[in-house]
Amino acid sequence: MTTEYHHIPVMPREVATALQVARGAIVVDATVGGGGHALELGKATMPGGILVGIDQDPAALAAAETRLAPLRSQGEVFVRQGNFRDLDTLLGDLGLAWVDAILFDVGVSSPQLDSYERGFSFHDAGTGAGAESRTEAEADPRAAAAFLDMRMNPDGGTPTAAELLAQADEAELVRILRRGGEERWAGRIARAIVRQREQEPLTDVVSLRELVKAAIPAAARRQGRHPARLTFQALRIAVNDELGALETGLEAAIRWLRPGGRVATLSFHSLEDRIVKRIFSAHAGRCVCPPDLPVCACGAVGELRVLTPHALRPTQQEVMENPRARSTRLRVAERL
């Protein structure tokens, strides 16, 4: 099993500039990961600041504890286990009244994808999530034993992806694939999953990957990126309830910000980005009622000022150095 948790923070300069962290500030990294963003934000707030790092992955927490240790002599550093939906509880337990800046780094991390035994990636061990090979990358026999877990907190007691595949009916599978992956061939893939589990449970990465490839039309398999990419994404999102947690966490973050405080989000696909845009818009006082409603019924009142009308994107240089950054969207808002 992979023991080293190495994650390259995305758009670190842009994040630091956007959050405008000052010395003595209270800063929350709601997805601390390996501590890359948190370390830079912590340096800006020390001495005298308070840094809170939150993550649901025990491996990430261990890495963050080590990386952030040098800051403890200059201020208060707290590393806590939980996810976005736990923000109210975790910050309340620390006795905080407000925070100055909150960062959400949404989605799965590179170490989680690279740990093939955790079942997040449709690629085999050693290929990484950024690889696009469908030949040698799929030949590693170790992936045959890669269990479809996909839980960001493997000790959390929630169902694994394998259990979800075994329990959900066809209609629910279609909903999962469409909601979390916007998968065009959701119906065909769901039917194939139901047929397969009548013969044998789907429990490993290779079996699911090959089933998806066989379920969609041959012409579609030859287009774009790996045909199993969206299915794996959708299952991961469903297992961890990522979209629901993001909504809950963003709403909580806005409540915790002091006037002038800022919230920043790093999202990696349109599903996450749409949630961020919708919530920021709603709290900026922009009407979110259906367009055919004759009178506004949402009662929109401005609490936020959106600082990024258009999402910021990584530079070409960063994408060259870290291909996984290519789809990143950074959005920032300030509490009024």
Q: What is the DSSP string of 51-112?
A: EEEEES-HHHHHHHHHHHGGGGGTSEEEEEE--GGGHHHHHHHTT-S-EEEEEEE-S--HHH
pLDDT-above-90 percentage for the chain = 68
pLDDT tier at 297, thresholds 50, 70, 90 = confident
Interval 12-22: pLDDT, tens: 999 999 999 99
What is the Cα–Cα distance from 317 to 283, expressed in whole angstroms?
34
Tell me the pLDDT tens digit for each residue of 36-49: 999 999 999 999 99
With a cut of 80, say whether residue 283 has pLDDT above it.
yes
What domains appear along the chain, each with residue ranges and CATH number? 12-110+242-335 (3.40.50.150), 120-240 (1.10.150.170)
Q: How many residues does the chain have?
A: 336
Averaged pLDDT of the chain: 87
What percent of the chain shows pLDDT beyond 70?
A: 86
Predicted pLDDT at 310 = 94
For strands 257-267 and 26-29, give the pairing. unpaired
CA–CA distances in Å: residue 177 to residues 23, 186, 191, 266 = 45, 6, 12, 23
3-state SS, residue 310: coil
Q: What is the pLDDT of residue 146?
A: 86
Contacts (Cβ under 8 Å, ≥6 apart) of 65: 79
Question: Quick one: CA torsion of 285, 290, 296, 302, rounded to 10 degrees?
Answer: -10
Helix (H, G, I), strand (E, B) or coil at 260: strand
Q: What tens digit of pLDDT does each residue of 168-210 get?
A: 999 999 999 999 999 999 999 999 999 999 999 999 898 999 9
Distances (CA, A) of 178 to 166, 207, 210, 244: 18, 21, 19, 15
Residue 307 sits at φ, ψ, to 5 deg, of -95, -10
Which tens digits make up the pLDDT trace of 118-177? 766 766 433 333 333 333 334 455 555 689 998 988 887 789 999 999 999 999 999 999
d(CA 173, CA 194): 9
Q: Is-contact 67 231, C-beta < 8 A?
A: no
- The pTM of the full predicted model, rounded to 2 decimals, is 0.85
Q: pLDDT tens, 223-257?
A: 777 889 999 999 999 999 999 999 999 999 999 99
What is residue 125's predicted lDDT score, i.e. its pLDDT? 37
Residue 79 predicted with pLDDT over 70:
yes
Range name among 78-82, 159-163, 272-276, 296-300 with the lowest pLDDT average = 296-300
Of 115-129, 268-282, 298-312, the range with the lowest mean pLDDT is 115-129
The stretch 275-282 carries a mean pLDDT of 95
Calculate mean pLDDT across residues 214-229.
Answer: 84
Instruction: Report whether pLDDT(104) > 80.
Output: yes
